Amino acid sequence: MVTEQASSADTQALAQEFVQFAIESGVLRFGEFKTKAGRMSPYFFNAGLFDDGAKLSRLAQFYAKALLASGIEFDMIFGPAYKGIPLGAAVAIELARLGKNVPFAYNRKEAKDHGEGGSLVGAPLKGRVLIVDDVMSAGTAARESIALIKAAGATPHAMAIALDRQEMATEKQADGSVQDVPHSAVQYVRNTLGMGVCCIAQLSDLLAYLSAQDGNEMGQHLPKVQAYRDRYGV
């Protein structure tokens, strides 16, 4: 059964707090940014800029709180290379601090042919695996992680991400062109792959935050973000 993140005042408050934290940390920025899909986005989220101990610790707290509120059950955490490695490790540490101690593993981009060898590091992949990453765009990284987990004989059960952009995914066509599809990467993972997805915040939460900033400098970004949502949103 696919488990949706609980919708409540608590999770909405957590999402608003996270959006503010991401903006203050310089992780969520406004301007003109070209996405992998070739779209010009008025905002950009780069989890790699949670780049010191305090930020990473607080980020892990957001992930852990969202996961515990979601009701998603899992037996271990997998962090896909590269951003998912520190994220997954930090979330595993925070969950253990909160009383849920689970094994953690990650992959290398290139398999190692000496020492322990292979592309997987950490605990053996088994049971229901939670994949921890920053965002999902086309879902390519998710599919790679899912294939690795299945090849190890474990079950890719759910994903935890920081931000759901809530926009149409893209798929490469036979002629090499890229085309928009009428679902997001998150919807694909939930509805087609049957996995749970827990996100700390969504684009709708960012829009709600900007709406509440009406009259100040931050609120000026609302029209462009809303227009992007109207054009590419799902």
Task: Determine the 3-state secondary structure of 210 from DSSP.
Answer: helix
pLDDT tens digits for range 48-98: 899 999 999 999 999 999 999 999 999 999 999 888 999 999 999 999 999
Element (H, E) at 166: none
Residue 2, pLDDT score: 41
Residue 4 has pLDDT above 80, yes or no: no
Q: What percent of the chain has pLDDT over 70?
A: 91
Task: Determine the 3-state secondary structure of 28 from DSSP.
Answer: strand
- Residues with a known catalytic role: 112, 114
Residue 140, pLDDT score: 65
DSSP 77-117: EEE-TTTHHHHHHHHHHHHHHTT----EEEEEEEEE-STT-
Residue with the two structure tokens 């595993």: 92
Residue whose C-alpha is closest to residue 71's, from 124, 5, 116, 125 = 5
pLDDT tens digits for range 124-182: 999 999 999 998 865 667 788 999 999 999 999 999 999 999 999 888 788 877 788 88
Residue 112 has pLDDT above 70, yes or no: no
Q: How far apart are CA 194 and CA 2, in angstroms?
A: 6
Q: How far apart are CA 19 and CA 210, in angstroms?
A: 10
Residue 91, pLDDT score: 98
Q: How far apart are CA 5 and CA 65, in angstroms?
A: 11
Q: What DSSP state is assigned to residue 7?
A: -
Q: How far apart are CA 186 and CA 199, in angstroms?
A: 9
Range in 37-41, 169-173, 190-194 the model is least confident about: 169-173
Q: How far apart are CA 64 and CA 11, in angstroms?
A: 12
Residue 229 has pLDDT above 60, yes or no: yes
DSSP 40-56: EEEEEE-GGG--SHHHH
Q: In terms of C-beta density within 10 A (0-12 exposed, 13-18 middle, 19 or more buried), how is residue 200 classed?
A: buried
